[in-house]
Amino acid sequence: MEARRQRGPALTEVSATRSVAAGGSARSCIVLDRVSLRFQSERREVQALSDISLSIAEGEFVALLGPTGCGKSSLLRLVSDLLAPTAGTIAVRGEPAAAARRLNQFGFVFQEPALLSWRTALGNVQLPLEVVGYPPDKRITRCMELLNSVGLPKFKDAYPHELSGGMKQRVAMVRALAWNPPILLMDEPFSALDELTRGQLQDDLLQLWNRERKTVLFVTHNISEAIYLADRIVVMSPHPGRIKTILSPDLPRPRTDEMHETQDFLKWIRMAREALQS
Amino acid sequence: MSDATSTIQNRLRDKILPPLIILALALGFWELSVKVLDIPPWLLPAPSDVVDRFFKTTMLWYHTGLTVLEALAGFVISAVLGVSLSAGIVHSRFLERGVFPYVIVSNAIPIIAIIPLLTIWFGFGIAPKIMICSIISFFPIVTNTTRGLKATDRRIIEFMRSINATRSEILLKVQLPSALPFIFASFKIAASLALVGAVVAEFYSSDRGLGYLIITSATQLRTDLLFVAIVVLAALGVSSFMLFGYLERMATRGERTEETR
């Protein structure tokens, strides 16, 4: 059972500077230039991504929306240098993706929490700090601060099997933020959760994003989730994966649960659905 | 507090008492049959005779110690080499393709066939016995550890790579700990195999050790001594099995409770 916790008012989320993202006047954080990716599987060659060009601003929240097989997960792995593109270039804050990875600029969150079962919640959040060379005396403080921010201070000594699905994903989320990387890469992070928990985690994420000022690249196949969270939505089509269109919902921030029923929100849902189906 | 004592009592009643009762019944039946049917002790000594012999055999602990030493040394060598080789196999496709077939071959050759060869090369001392123990316990350790290292959650490895973790960091912080249940399971098998290896090697060429004790007491029809050696071996096997079984359970604690929920 999800321990329902006191949720602070979402008012801390300020939206004043967010709208610059759509204009492209802000400093570019991630730039993909005519990126293609081909996989050589045993029998045939698979074109996973074809001719992707995209520029993401510093501090922008971008959702990659598309059906399974459109290569959106591969795109995250290209940006974070876990995969190398077959063609095209990727620049992260003016440097190649590999350099950005060496500088620990990416925090990765997956669909599965992917926690270490033999480490406590605190130990799991601490894992990346041990790798990136975070000052040892500040590790615990930093981890506790993060666990506090997602309402899990009481569960710091709990092992993953003692946590609910939502709690585990919260731990995975703050693990990806532990060393304060500027870029957060999220691969359908909430798709395995139930509706209610998903809503809570979406709000948690928006608060974290606002407080820690991250650039977020968020993969999802859920239209409503994309619109609720993102500044811009990159709609993709499969076989081969390419960008169909980019939507910039000008919904006000902070975003609240009630927004899901507004005319504006529904209008953007409709537009996204049409873009996906066209 | 009362909760803890009651679980201990429950464990005693459910797990420990039934086998003890069966054991007592079997021993009683055995003792009685030997006495009533007047079976000669060289054919089947009574349990009381075996216990008697156990306390009278002064050299017993010397022989036992030697066999344990051989088995333990061989096992430790295998554990160190085996886990290291597995780590290498997981990191290098060349090593996996080049070495793994020979690991399988090492298991296919009957160990008994190698003992004479090792005796020619290394004599009648302790060295060839340790080698036998090591060879016999090598295979399960390498296969299981490799499987365990490969079963690591792909996502966690991706996460580690995305923060530029080195291969050794991934191995030490993620792969090895997650393979621990597999490793301990293989140790459980390997330790009993090492004990078998030590005894068999002593059969062939030795003037000491439990294997030697078994062979000599058999040829001299000192069946009570034979039983003593068997009981000691059984106790050794069971304790190593229990030790590694315990470690395995400790290491799988998290996963198991998750499954049973």
State the number of CA atoms in the 13 A half-sphere of A35 facing the CB.
28
> Does residue B50 share a domain with residue B34?
no
> Does residue B27 share a domain with residue B147?
no
Looking up residue A88, the CATH number of its domain turns out to be 3.40.50.300
Our count of domains for chain B comes to 2
Residue B78 has pLDDT above 90, yes or no: yes
Q: Which of B153, B159, B255 to mutate to test the interface with A (most CBs of A within 10 A)?
A: B159
In angstroms, the separation between the Cα of residue A4 and the nearest Cα of chain B is 21
Q: Which two tokens stand for residue A268?
A: 């953007």
Rounded alpha-carbon distances, angstroms, from residue B61 to B45, B57, B67, B208, B218: 21, 9, 10, 11, 19
- Do B162 and A112 lie within an 8 Å CB cutoff? no
In angstroms, the separation between the Cα of residue B148 and the nearest Cα of chain A is 14
pLDDT band at B130 (very low <50, low <70, confident <90, very high): very high
The reply to whether A64 falls in a domain is yes
The reply to whether A65 falls in a domain is yes
- Do B155 and A130 lie within an 8 Å CB cutoff? no
Q: Which of A78, A118, A134 to mutate to test the interface with B (most CBs of B within 10 A)?
A: A118
Span B85-94, average pLDDT: 89
The reply to whether A66 falls in a domain is yes
The reply to whether A207 falls in a domain is no
Residue A53 has pLDDT above 50, yes or no: yes
> Does residue B224 share a domain with residue B147?
yes
Share of chain A above pLDDT 70, in %: 91
- Do A117 and B178 lie within an 8 Å CB cutoff? yes
Residue A27 has pLDDT above 80, yes or no: no
Nearest of B103, B133, B138 to residue B202 by alpha carbon: B133
Among A8-17, A248-257, B166-175, B206-215, the range scoring the smallest mean pLDDT is A8-17
Confidence at residue B228, expressed as pLDDT on a 0 to 100 scale: 92
Nearest of B184, B196, B180 to residue B230 by alpha carbon: B196
Express each pLDDT in A206-234 by its tens digit.
888 888 788 899 999 888 888 888 889 88
Confidence at residue A11, expressed as pLDDT on a 0 to 100 scale: 38
Express each pLDDT in A94-125 by its tens digit.
888 888 888 888 889 998 889 988 888 888 99
- Residue A203 contacts residue A151 (beta carbons within 8 Å): no
Residue A17 has pLDDT above 70, yes or no: no
- Do B158 and A106 lie within an 8 Å CB cutoff? no
Q: What is the ipTM of this complex?
A: 0.82
Q: Are strands A87-92 and A183-187 parallel, antiparallel or unpaired?
A: unpaired
Query: Could you tell me if A44 lies within 8 Å of chain B, comparing CB atoms?
Result: no
- Do A117 and B258 lie within an 8 Å CB cutoff? yes
Among A94-103, A175-184, B226-235, the range scoring the smallest mean pLDDT is A94-103
What sections of A11-71 are H helices per DSSP? 20-23
Which residue in chain B has the smallest CA separation from A131? B165
Confidence at residue B3, expressed as pLDDT on a 0 to 100 scale: 60
Among A203-207, B114-118, B257-261, the range scoring the smallest mean pLDDT is B257-261
Sheet holding A215-220, edge to edge: A106-109, A183-187, A215-220, A61-65, A232-237, A242-247
> Does residue B133 share a domain with residue B31?
no
Q: Contacts of residue B258 in chain A, CB cutoff 8 Å?
A: 117, 160-161
Sheet holding A95-96, edge to edge: A45-57, A28-40, A87-92, A95-96
> Does residue B200 share a domain with residue B129?
yes
Which residue in chain B has the smallest CA separation from A180? B163
Query: Could you tell me if A161 lies within 8 Å of chain B, comparing CB atoms?
Result: yes
In this complex, the residue of A108, A116, A117 whose CB is nearest that of residue B162 is A108
What average pLDDT is seen over chain A?
A: 81
- Residue B118 contacts residue B128 (beta carbons within 8 Å): yes
Q: Contacts of residue B153 in chain A, CB cutoff 8 Å?
A: 112, 114
- Number of helices (H) and strands (E), helices first, in chain A? 9, 10
Return the higher-pLDDT residue of A10 and B110: B110
Q: Contacts of residue A175 in chain B, CB cutoff 8 Å?
A: 159
Phi, psi for residue A81 in degrees, rounded to 5: 65, 25
What average pLDDT is seen over chain B?
A: 87
Rounded distance between C-alpha atoms, residue A229 and residue A47, angstroms: 29
> Does residue B139 share a domain with residue B29?
no
pLDDT band at B54 (very low <50, low <70, confident <90, very high): confident
Among B51-60, B118-127, B247-256, the range scoring the smallest mean pLDDT is B247-256
pLDDT band at A8 (very low <50, low <70, confident <90, very high): very low
In angstroms, the separation between the Cα of residue A131 and the nearest Cα of chain B is 6
The reply to whether A116 falls in a domain is no
In angstroms, the separation between the Cα of residue B77 and the nearest Cα of chain A is 27
In angstroms, the separation between the Cα of residue A5 and the nearest Cα of chain B is 24
> With the C-alpha atoms ordered A93, A94, A97, A102, is the resulting torsion angle positive or negative?
negative
Our count of domains for chain A comes to 1
Across A58-200, where does the E strand assignment appear? 61-65, 87-92, 95-96, 106-109, 183-187
- Do B169 and A118 lie within an 8 Å CB cutoff? no
Return the higher-pLDDT residue of B226 and B8: B226
Those residues of chain B whose CB sits closer than 8 Å to some CB in chain A are 153, 155-156, 158-165, 169, 173-174, 177-178, 180, 251, 254-255, 257-258, 261
Supply the range of the domain harboring residue A42: 21-102+215-278
Q: Residue A92's beta-bridge partner residues?
A: A30, A95
CB pairs under 8 A between A and B: 67
In this complex, the residue of A106, A114, A159 whose CB is nearest that of residue B153 is A114
Confidence at residue B4, expressed as pLDDT on a 0 to 100 scale: 62
Q: Contacts of residue A160 in chain B, CB cutoff 8 Å?
A: 254, 258
Q: Residue A107's beta-bridge partner residues?
A: A184
Confidence at residue B66, expressed as pLDDT on a 0 to 100 scale: 93
First to last CA, chain B: 26
> Does residue B61 share a domain with residue B2?
no
> Does residue B165 share a domain with residue B105?
yes
Supply the range of the domain harboring residue B230: 46-260
- Do B162 and A101 lie within an 8 Å CB cutoff? yes
